[in-house]
Amino acid sequence: MTKTLNIALAQLNPTVGDVANNIGRLRRARQEAAAAGAELVVCGELFVSGYPPEDLVLKRSFQDHMAEAITAFASETGDGGPAMLVGVPWRIDDELFNAVLLLDGGQITEIRLKYDLPNYGVFDEKRVFRAGPLPDPITFQGVSLGILVCEDMWTPAVSTHLKEKGAEILIVMNGSPFEVDKTHMRRQYATDRVSETSLPLVYVNLVGGQDELVFDGSSFVLDAKGLTVVQMPGWTENVLLTKWQASDNAVWECDPVPGGPALTRLENIYQAMVMGLHDYVDKNHFPGVLIGLSGGIDSALSAAVAVDALGSDRVHCVMMPSPYTSQESLDDAAEAAQLLGVQLDTIAIDPAMQAFDTMLGEVFAGQEKDTTEENVQARSRGITLMAISNKLGYMVLSTGNKSEMSVGYATLYGDMCGGYSVLKDIYKSTVYKLSHWRNENFCDGLKGPKGRVIPERIITKAPSAELKPDQTDQDSLPPYDELDAILHALIEEEMAVREIVAQGHDKGIVEKVWRMLDRAEYKRRQAPPGVKITPRAFGRDRRYPITNGFTGTI
């Protein structure tokens, strides 16, 4: 007799700390799955608390709140509907674990604990959780399910143990943040586990933004040969029913579910920026965002992302010209605002510059003008934006990119002002690629207009801060393609200067970039959060000392 099992994959977007909202999402997913005929619903890692909960999870009152909420929710499964596998921080004998609970028949019937706690990059789970033992399978309706929690899949220990203990289907519950090109890595590890165990594998990931992290979803199912039979779309909540049956040789097979085309690299990056900004603004209850629209490419791309994430009615732009602002920049900012359909105000900063000249005149007497006066311009703009933000409630969106943040081409309390940055982990060369891509492409779910949203001249003209006459970025920096290649080697690859020089770069330029990168650490510590895109974003991924005597030139 053929055995069957219907499993719903619930790819959902939690909010850290909002237990009631997260339980509500689980409840609605269960109702949708029940209507489709599911017997079991699987969600992502630590869904009840949201992921990552960081030190919030250490609060005893928060732990108690979650325990009460999940116990009450478990009672709802006594209605004869589907059971649920739910991720939740769980206290046992006064120790806290990253746990999976099976809710079935009105109660919590099984508990499994995460075995492999990641402690690198953005992960520091050993700080807050105790590792569990190697987990045994859960028997559900006569089927032996092997439960793994995210990192448990990245090494063979847990899956091999589950196979030895009789598991028939591997189910992996994940809170795996997006990184560019990480999808292939996940799939390779999943394929390795299938190859080692000859068991099918279900991979369910979170979706949504949480501070600097974004989760792309992209849940999938592999059959016992490692072939993809189910691929859920990325960047959207979804509840998908999968239908399983055991073949004559007792191997469980999942009915294929057609999936859409894979997203391109640039589309994934753009979607990550959109989702990160949308969830940061909405989950923190800002009415919208405020952007200093300069006529340059960084602010133009930031505005396009903001409109795609929030809609044009929630994006307010301000052009703040100085005597050095070109007519081209004024015209380009106006065209960008018109293409996006956003409000654009113009507030000249000349009066502020004159006021500071007067205020500081006595102290600065006899001194030549230098970057001090340039920084006064940036800070005048920062004060202007923050004043409007305070008055209207809109969050200032910082527009600096990773190349600038790397070498310190950003002014503290000036253009670094803001509550969030979508370009923080985007190199300047990628800014250009994304701008071209957005002008030529449009995705379902974006709230902005189709077609061109960034004026062509913004993309083609030489980048300039316009803080003095005839200024361009390349006056003091190498071309961005060269700069970004060096920065990638220094930051993502942690290469030594001599290794980068061996790739064909000039030693003097590499040493200069290293020194600029090193000296700007104090600025980055004061920068707003921003969407993590690369394997080593500034922040929790890369923790360098500010006071640092190592020159890096050896």
Q: Which residues pair with 6 in a beta bridge?
A: 243
SS3 179: coil
- Please enumerate in sequence order all residues whose Cβ is within 8 A of that of 420, keeping only pairs 6 or more positions apart, or say none: 277, 280, 281, 289, 395, 397, 398, 528, 529, 530
- Please enumerate in sequence order all residues whose Cβ is within 8 A of that of 229, keeping only pairs 6 or more positions apart, or say none: 221, 222, 223, 254, 255, 256, 257
CA 185 from centroid of its chain's CA atoms: 17
Rounded Cα–Cα distance for residues 306 and 312 (Å) = 8
Instruction: Using CB atoms within 10 Å of the CB of residue 354, give its burial: 0 to 12 exposed, 13 to 18 middle, 19+ buried.
Output: exposed
- Please enumerate in sequence order all residues whose Cβ is within 8 A of that of 476, keeping only pairs 6 or more positions apart, or say none: none
Q: Which residues pair with 146 in a beta bridge?
A: 170
CA 288 from centroid of its chain's CA atoms: 19
Structure tokens, 20: 């009631």
- Which residue is catalytic, options 39, 45, 179, 404? 45
> Is 45 noted as a catalytic residue in this protein?
yes
Backbone angles phi, psi at 303, to 5 degrees: -65, -40
Rounded Cα–Cα distance for residues 303 and 220 (Å) = 33
Instruction: Using CB atoms within 10 Å of the CB of residue 217, give its burial: 0 to 12 exposed, 13 to 18 middle, 19+ buried.
Output: buried
Rounded Cα–Cα distance for residues 477 and 483 (Å) = 8
Indicate the helix (H) or strand (E) that contains 112. Answer: strand 107-113
Rounded Cα–Cα distance for residues 235 and 213 (Å) = 13
In 3D, which of 511, 522, 513, 515 has the Cα closest to residue 546?
522
Rounded Cα–Cα distance for residues 59 and 544 (Å) = 29
In 3D, which of 190, 193, 244 has the Cα closest to residue 219?
190
In 3D, which of 222, 225, 186 has the Cα closest to residue 206?
186
- Between the two ends of the chain, the Cα-to-Cα distance in Å is 70
Instruction: Give residue 464's identity as a one-letter amino acid code.
Output: S
Instruction: Give residue 223's identity as a one-letter amino acid code.
Output: D
In 3D, which of 23, 37, 7, 46 has the Cα closest to residue 205?
46
SS3 182: helix
> Is 114 noted as a catalytic residue in this protein?
yes
- Which residue is catalytic, options 39, 43, 110, 114? 114
Rounded Cα–Cα distance for residues 218 and 237 (Å) = 10
- Which residue is catalytic, options 39, 110, 150, 374? 150
**CA 395 vs CA 12, 53, 285: distances in Å:** 26, 24, 10
Structure tokens, 285: 């209850």
- Please enumerate in sequence order all residues whose Cβ is within 8 A of that of 395, keeping only pairs 6 or more positions apart, or say none: 281, 284, 286, 288, 289, 290, 389, 418, 419, 420
Q: Are 312 and 342 in contact (CB under 8 A)?
A: yes
Instruction: Enumerate the active-site residues.
Output: 45, 114, 150
